[in-house]
Structures are given as structure tokens and as C-alpha cells.
Structure 1
């Protein structure tokens, strides 16, 4: 393990992250909310610590090995979450215990959207801005890691399918160099953010709310500047705009890149994962709207907008709320929560297990049913017109199995802490899938949860964001052997 080069990179990351604490200082001074000192102190603390880590190893230019990459990828979220918690802990309003400050930072950077805060309307503007900014930075971090970095380590959705699947996911990098890839992804991410913010502003949000909610929408994070979330605005136009950009942000960003570079929207419809993702979202939206209308819960227009918005918000793991969907009739609350297990496409800002894995699990199950009738038949599983290797299918099942093991362990921890069953299992869903809200006592906030539940929730958020294996591999003896 090349600890010197790892320390050098982590020190640089902390130094760069410290600069992100300066915009909230400007916001604090602009609105005179009294929190500028907390962010300045946070800036200095993170900058100094980053410098102390970086300075002794600044001349180390050794190349990273694969094992180093695993450790850096995991530490990326852990170290930056620790750094991100500093302003929350130092702020005078809200006054937070450290566990709560760290929980809020982890939730923001992993774009989970679970919160321990209430009374958001009364909080300082700089704190509100910082929460939204954390999610936006976490979102671009997810994209760059998933598309530019993780493939080099042999992990992540792109690496898993790149040799077997037609379309952009088969490529190791979108452009010949990582720097160019990251730059291209940055342009797409910023472009979506600007378009979303402009649309929100034109639909009636003030500039502060429009920018803040665009950060959380494109990052599929779900933080809001109001306790009632998007429901605060009570606007069909805003809900439809949010639904559109959550859908787009749940699409593989490599697919966005290919469609943009070739100026061809047909790239989307050629991709089997996109077709599956779009079909599931459409089907769930039609079912939800239909039930809301048939049961008389809402008039048709309201049902159409709120139903579509809430399906896309929960299914893509954004976690915004336009309505208390937990009070909706029939199967809807549980169905929506379960949809978070799928999330969006691979290499998107969405959480969950990703649509590609769910599609392969479904097709493999269908194949096993056919094999019962035709035991000797050779039945390949195809995506597009190309067969998927058995190695990929084994990897998908391995991921699914480990995901369920982690889910059960976290569920048992929550139950052992005395949570009721609905709260316990939806708290795990909310954190492990990076969804944010759950049902029961965690429908809106984790504030009342015991500290151990918050700690397990933070572990779940990072595990979910790193797609389980990236973090769990660090706990195997083989990883640390020379």
C-alpha cells in the first residue's frame, strides 16, 4: 500500500474542499445571518489539516495501484464527510451535536437527503445554501468517480458491463484521458443544473430557492430549504420541472455524453437499460395516478402532477416531497419505497441497486423458468443483440446477495434499538438506497433516532453510494496482504 501517495491525494482533496466553505461565507454576509465566522473557522481548520497531511508527501509522484485506488475511493467520502461536518458543528444556529452534524454532512455528500433538522424556514440562509451545495458537490463527485475513476479499479457499473453491453457503457473512458472525461461530465452536469435553476426561477421560485433546489434536483439529493419540500410551492409547473430533471439525472451520464457528442437522441432508445428504466417509471406513474383518481384522493390534474412527481422523486432516490405519500391509499406508499431499491441507471446521480442489475436479475429469473421446461436448452441472456457473460451474471447475483445481507444486518440493528418495524426497515431503505425519507418516525427527519441508528445510517449511506463492494473489500484480509 502506497500510503504516502494516498496521503498526498487526500490532503489535496481536503485543501480543495476547504475552498467550498467560502461561498457560504459570502451568503452569510449577504443575508447578515451571523454564521460567517463558523464557515471561516471551518475553512481554516480543513485547510490547515489538509496542508499538514499533504506537505510531508507533496513530492511523492508514484502512480496509484489498484488497491490504493480502492482505499482512496472509500476515504474520499469518509474524509470529506468529516470535513463537511465542521461548519455544522461550529454554527451557532442550528446548534448541533457532533453526531447530528456528521449525519447531515454524510447525507449531503452522498446525496441521500435524510436530515436531522427541522424548522428549515427559520435557519440561516448560509446553512441552507451549504446543505444544497454539499449535495451538488457530492453529485458531481459520484459521476466523476463512477465514469472516470472506478473503471480503472475494475469496479462499478461501467466496468462490470463495459465488455458485454452495447452502447456507451462498454467504453472504459468516454474520452481518451480522464481529465477530458471529467471535463465533459462537468459540462453536462453544470448544463443540467443551469437549465433546472432557470426553469424553477421562471416557474415562480425566487433565485435563492431556484438555485438551491436545482443543486439538489440534478444531484438527486432531496434537500430543500423548506420543511414541506417542493410541496411548499404548491405549483404544478414546479413539480413537472422537478420530475423532468430528476428523470434526466437518473439516466446514465455516459449516455448523455454520447447523445450530446453525436447530436442523436436515438442513442437513448438504443440502450436497453434506459428503455427498462423509462418503462418502469412510466408504468409506476400510470398506476399511481390511476389509483389516486379512482380512490378519489385527488382530482385528475393534481393526481397527474403529484403522482408523477412523487414516483420519480422516490424511484430515483431523490426524496423530495410534494405530498405526504405515506398517507396515500392502497399499495402506493410501500410500492414507492420498494422502487427505491432499483433507483436510476448506472453511472447516474441516483442511488439504489441500479436499473441494469435489476434488469439482468429479472432476465436471469425468466431464463430459469424456461429451463424448467427445456432442461437441455442453451438460453443466453442478451442485452440488445449481444449475450451477457456468465461472469457478469454471477457478479450481479453476488452484489444482490451482499446487498441483502447488509440490509438485514442494518435492519436488525434498528430493531434492537427499539424502533417499530415500519420505521426500522424504511430507515434502512432510506439510507442504503440513498433515498432520504422513509415511513413511520423517519418520514420527514431522523432527529428523534438514537445515535446508534444514526451511525448505522451513515455507514449505510456510504455503503450504498459506493455500491457495497468498494467499501467492504477493505475489511477482507486479502486486501491488506502484500
Structure 2
């Protein structure tokens, strides 16, 4: 491992991130707000420390190893979460304490969408924009974006890409060069964002809200510029636009590129993961709609609209709300949170365990059942006619086991901090699945829970965003042996 090259890369990435603190200044100038000096100070602090870290190791140019990539990825998310909290602490409103500011920053960057801020409607628009921008940057992964730039600065990027990319298939690339792969992913991300913003505007949102909500929709983040989230608009058209883009953002971005390059929608249906994802959305949405209707919560039209919207929002781990789903009949809130464990597709901006892993786990369970009847049968797992590597399948089982162990460990920590079981269980699901909304004391926001619980949930959000092993590997003695 090379501490100097790690410091150099972190410095460069911090410098890149500091530039994003200048864009809210434009918003502040447009709306005549007094937040410009605060953002300039946050920029200066972040850029200064980033430049200092780069300067101290500027002559170091060794190749980046896989081990270095893991360290940089974890440290960068920790550092980014801390420096991203600066504007939220320095601003007169919301003027958050350190713990709350870091919680909000990490929640945004990990696209969790859990918030400690209330009275969003009265906040300066530059602050609202900054929160949405955090989610947009975190959605595609600031590290994945950076690998398209770092080679020009003399640093290779494949190790970072492998450490950061969500999902079990981390070594697949769209193009031979990692820079080209990152560029293609970024282009898909930008096109979806632009399309979503235009659609929101045509649906009746003002330009500012359309842009901000497109950031959080495509990032599958869930932050809003209003306390009532998308329910503020009370518009079925806005809800339909959100549903379409939440579904699209939950699909593998590489699959988007493949479908667009071939100009065929069949590419989505031919992909086993995408097909299962769409079937689960339709099936779970139908159950939610039917339960709302037959328990007489809404009439049929409202059940169809709110049920489908809320199920898509929760399963894709976006976290938007148009109604207080926690007050729905007891079965539905837990059913919705259960769906968030499936999450979105690998290679998307969504959270959860991921549909691809669930697909493989399902096939393995069926294989073991078949083996009980035919003990000597050779039954390889196949995806699209190809034999799935046993090593990857073993890794998925290890991930699933680690996920469950960490999940209940976090629940126990939250219970020990004084939270009730429903709050602890749902908050853990919301953090580890990068979902956002929970039940009980965190149904509306997380401002009422204690600081210890917030730090535990910050760790859960990072574990979920980095898919557990990227962070856990740093605690392995083997990792630190030369």
C-alpha cells in the first residue's frame, strides 16, 4: 500500500469536490440570497486541505493497486461526508450541529435520503439545491466520475472503479479503457437527469424544483425541496413522471447504454435481472394497490396511484412520499420496507441487496431442492445460457450472511441507545438499504433520535453504499499484510 499516493488521490478528489460547492453560489445570486460568503468559505476550506494533501505527495506516481483503491474509496466517502457537512454547519439556516450536518451530508452522498432538517420550505434555495446536488453526485458515485478525469492527472482509475461500482459483477466494462466506461456511464446519467428535469417541468413544476427533483429521482435519493416531498404538488402527472424515472434509474446503467445503442427495448426484457426487477415491481405494486382498495383506505383510482407510486419509491430505495405510508394498515408499511431489501438492479444508483443477488440466491435454492431428489446431478447455475461462476455465487452467499449479521447488530445498537424496536428495525433497513424513510420515531425525519443512533446509522449508510465488503475488508488483518 502507498500512503503517499493515497494522499495524492484524496487531495485531487477533494479539489474536484470543492468545485461543486461553487454551483450553489450561482443559485444564491439568482435568488438574491446571503449564503454566498458561507459557500465561499466552505469551498476555501475544502480546496485548501485538498491542495495541501496533493502538494505534499505531488511527486509520487506509483501505480494504484487494488488495495489502495479500497482504502481511497472508503476514506474518500468518510472525508467527503465530513467536508460536505461544512455548508450545512456554516449556514444561518439550517445551521446544523456537527453530528446532524455529517448525518445529512452522508445521507445525501449515499443517496439514502434520511434527513434531520425540518421546515424545508423556508430554507434558502441555495441550501436546498446543495442538498439535491449531494445526492446527484453520490448517485453515480463521485469516484466513478473521477476515474474519467484522474488518468489525465497521472493516476490510474480501474482500482477505484472496482471498489466503487455497486453490485456483484464489478469487473465488467463497457469499453476496454476504464475512462471510456466511466464517460459512458456518466453520459447515460446526465441524459436521464435532463430528461427527468424536462418531464417534471412539463408536468407543472417550476424550473428550480424540476431540476432539484430530477437530481434526487435519477440518483434514487429521495431528498425534496418540500417537507411534504412530492405530495406537495398533489399532482398525478408529477407522480407518473417520478414513477417512470425511478424505474429507469433502478435499472443497470450499462443495460441502458446497450438498449440505446441497439435501439431496442427488448434488451431490457431479455436481461434476467431487469425482467425480475420489473416483475417484482408489477407484482408488489399490485399487492399494495389491492390491499389499499380492499381495506378502504382509498377509492380504486387513488389506491392505484398512491399504491403503485409508494411501492416503486420504496422498492427502488428512492424514498419519495406522497402519503404517510406508515399510517396505512400494519401489513403495508412492513411489506414496503421488506421490498426495499430487494432494491434495484446491480449497476444502478439504487440500494438494497440488489436484484441480481436475489436472482442468484433463488436459483441456488432451487438447485439445492433439486439435489435432494437427484444427489448426483451436476447442476451449474446459468444466466442467459452461460454458466455462472461458482466463486461469484459463493461471494453472494457470503454477502448475504454478512448483511444479515450487520443488520441485526445495528438493530441491537439502536435498541441499546433507547429506540423502540419498530424504530430501530425500520431505521436500520432505511440506512443499510439506502432508503431514507422509516417507521415509528423516524417516519417523518431523524431529528428526534439521539446522536449515538445517528452515528450508528451513518455507518450503516456507508456500509450500504459501499456494499459492505468494501468497508469490511479494511478490518481484515490479511488486508494490511504486505
Q: In which range does the TM-score fall when normalised by the shorter chain?
A: over 0.9
Verify the 8 A CA contact 2:108 2:131 in the aligned structure 1. yes
1:283 and 2:283 aligned: yes
| Residue pairs, 1:142-161, within 5 angstroms | 144=144, 160-161=168-169
Distance in 2 (CA, whole Å) between partners of 1:391 and 1:173 is 19
Task: Look up the match of 1:165.
Answer: none
Verify the 8 A CA contact 1:143 1:185 in the aligned structure 2. no
Task: Look up the match of 2:123.
Answer: 123
Distance in 2 (CA, whole Å) between partners of 1:297 and 1:479 is 53
Task: Look up the match of 1:32.
Answer: 32
Verify the 8 A CA contact 2:218 2:246 in the aligned structure 1. yes
Verify the 8 A CA contact 1:403 1:468 in the aligned structure 2. yes
Deviation at 1:146, TM superposition (A): 12
Verify the 8 A CA contact 2:166 2:467 in the aligned structure 1. no
Label 1:104 to 1:155 Cα distance change in 2 as closer, same or farther (>3 A): closer
Structure 1, 17-26 or 209-218: larger mean CA deviation: 17-26
Task: Look up the match of 1:388.
Answer: 388
Label 1:261 to 1:438 Cα distance change in 2 as closer, same or farther (>3 A): same
Task: Look up the match of 1:254.
Answer: 254
Structure 1, residues 35-57: CA drift from partner, whole Å, max 9, x if none? Answer: 22111110111011111101121
Distance in 1 (CA, whole Å) between partners of 2:110 and 2:137 is 9
Deviation at 1:115, TM superposition (A): 0.4
Task: Look up the match of 1:166.
Answer: none
Deviation at 1:444, TM superposition (A): 1.6
Verify the 8 A CA contact 1:109 1:138 in the aligned structure 2. yes
Distance in 2 (CA, whole Å) between partners of 1:153 and 1:236 is 39
Verify the 8 A CA contact 1:236 1:302 in the aligned structure 2. no
Task: Look up the match of 1:96.
Answer: 96
Task: Look up the match of 2:62.
Answer: 62
Distance in 2 (CA, whole Å) between partners of 1:269 and 1:154 is 27
Task: Look up the match of 1:462.
Answer: 462
SS of 1:341's equivalent in the other structure is helix
| Residue pairs, 1:261-272, within 5 angstroms | 261-272=261-272
Verify the 8 A CA contact 1:341 1:352 in the aligned structure 2. yes
What RMSD over aligned residues (CA atoms) do the two structures have, in Å?
Answer: 1.9
Task: Look up the match of 2:82.
Answer: 82
Deviation at 1:334, TM superposition (A): 0.4
SS of 1:62's equivalent in the other structure is coil
Label 1:147 to 1:402 Cα distance change in 2 as closer, same or farther (>3 A): farther
Distance in 1 (CA, whole Å) between partners of 2:379 and 2:81 is 46
Task: Look up the match of 2:352.
Answer: 352
Label 1:147 to 1:281 Cα distance change in 2 as closer, same or farther (>3 A): farther
Deviation at 1:124, TM superposition (A): 1.1
So what's the TM-score if we normalise by structure 2?
0.95
Distance in 1 (CA, whole Å) between partners of 2:8 and 2:361 is 41
- Which 4+ residue blocks in structure 1 deviate beyond 3 angstroms? 145-162
So what's the TM-score if we normalise by structure 1?
0.95
Task: Look up the match of 1:403.
Answer: 403
Label 1:274 to 1:307 Cα distance change in 2 as closer, same or farther (>3 A): same
Verify the 8 A CA contact 2:113 2:319 in the aligned structure 1. yes
Verify the 8 A CA contact 1:151 1:172 in the aligned structure 2. no
Verify the 8 A CA contact 2:73 2:164 in the aligned structure 1. no
SS of 2:341's equivalent in the other structure is coil
Distance in 2 (CA, whole Å) between partners of 1:366 and 1:266 is 27
| Residue pairs, 1:75-474, within 5 angstroms | 75-141=75-141, 144=144, 160-161=168-169, 172-474=172-474
Deviation at 1:368, TM superposition (A): 1.8
Distance in 2 (CA, whole Å) between partners of 1:151 and 1:243 is 34
Verify the 8 A CA contact 1:250 1:350 in the aligned structure 2. yes
Deviation at 1:292, TM superposition (A): 1.4
Deviation at 1:380, TM superposition (A): 2.5
Distance in 2 (CA, whole Å) between partners of 1:195 and 1:409 is 41
Structure 1, residues 134-155: CA drift from partner, whole Å, max 9, x if none? Answer: 0001112169379996777766
Deviation at 1:370, TM superposition (A): 2.1
Deviation at 1:172, TM superposition (A): 2.6
Label 1:42 to 1:146 Cα distance change in 2 as closer, same or farther (>3 A): closer
Distance in 1 (CA, whole Å) between partners of 2:275 and 2:42 is 45
Verify the 8 A CA contact 1:239 1:309 in the aligned structure 2. yes
Distance in 1 (CA, whole Å) between partners of 2:272 and 2:373 is 27
Deviation at 1:29, TM superposition (A): 2.3
Label 1:151 to 1:370 Cα distance change in 2 as closer, same or farther (>3 A): farther
Structure 1, 298-307 or 143-152: larger mean CA deviation: 143-152
Task: Look up the match of 1:43.
Answer: 43
Distance in 1 (CA, whole Å) between partners of 2:424 and 2:192 is 35
Task: Look up the match of 2:476.
Answer: 476
Deviation at 1:60, TM superposition (A): 1.8
